[in-house]
Amino acid sequence: MPMSEPSTAGARFRAALNHERPLQIAGTVNAISALLARQAGFQAIYLSGSGVASTSHGLPDLGVTTLQDVVEDARRITAAVDLPLLVDADTGWGSSLMIERTVRELIRAGAAGLHLEDQIDAKRCGHRPGKQLVSAAEMSDRLKAALDARSDSSFVIMARTDAVAIEGMTAAIDRANQYVDVGAEMIFAEAVTSLEDYLRFTESVSVPVLANITEFGRTPLYSLDSLREAGVKLVLYPLTAFRAMNDAAARVYQTLRETGTQKDLIDMMQTRDELYSLLDYYRQEP
First-last CA distance in the chain: 37
pLDDT at residue 7, rounded to an integer: 86
54-61 average pLDDT score = 92
CATH code of the domain covering residue 130: 3.20.20.60
List the domain range (segments joined by +) for residue 152.
9-240
Given the residues 125, 162, 197, 200, the one annotated as active site? 125
Query: What's the CA gap between 25 and 45, in Å, rounded?
Result: 5
pLDDT at residue 272, rounded to an integer: 95
Amino acid at 263: K
Q: What is the pLDDT of residues 191-212, one digit of tens each?
A: 999 999 999 999 999 999 999 9
Checking if the pLDDT of 2 tops 60, the result is: no
Checking if the pLDDT of 267 tops 80, the result is: yes
Residue 285 inside a domain? The answer is no
272 is in an annotated binding site: yes
Query: What's the CA gap between 138 and 121, in Å, rounded?
Result: 12
Residue 1 pLDDT grade (very low, low, confident, very high; cuts 50, 70, 90): very low
212 is in an annotated binding site: yes
Query: What's the CA gap between 175 and 78, in Å, rounded?
Result: 32
The question of whether 160 is a catalytic residue gets the answer: yes
Residue 261 inside a domain? The answer is no
Residue 145 inside a domain? The answer is yes
CB distance 143 to 116 below 8 Å: yes
The question of whether 90 is a catalytic residue gets the answer: yes
90 is in an annotated binding site: yes
Query: What's the CA gap between 2 and 222, in Å, rounded?
Result: 37
Residue 245 inside a domain? The answer is no
126 is in an annotated binding site: yes
pLDDT at residue 126, rounded to an integer: 64
The question of whether 46 is a catalytic residue gets the answer: yes
CB distance 238 to 191 below 8 Å: no
125 is in an annotated binding site: yes
Total tally of structural domains belonging to the chain: 1
Given the residues 38, 175, 200, 212, the one annotated as active site? 212
Residue 254 inside a domain? The answer is no
Mean pLDDT of the chain: 94
88 is in an annotated binding site: yes
The question of whether 150 is a catalytic residue gets the answer: no
Residue 140 inside a domain? The answer is yes
Given the residues 105, 118, 190, 197, the one annotated as active site? 190
93-117 average pLDDT score = 97
Q: What is the pLDDT of residues 222-255, one digit of tens each?
A: 999 999 999 999 999 999 999 999 999 999 999 9
The question of whether 61 is a catalytic residue gets the answer: yes
Q: What is the pLDDT of residues 157-197, one digit of tens each?
A: 999 999 999 999 999 999 999 999 999 999 999 999 999 99
Residue 107 inside a domain? The answer is yes
How big is the CA angle at 236 (ends 233 and 240), to the nearest 5 degrees? Answer: 155
Given the residues 30, 75, 90, 142, the one annotated as active site? 90
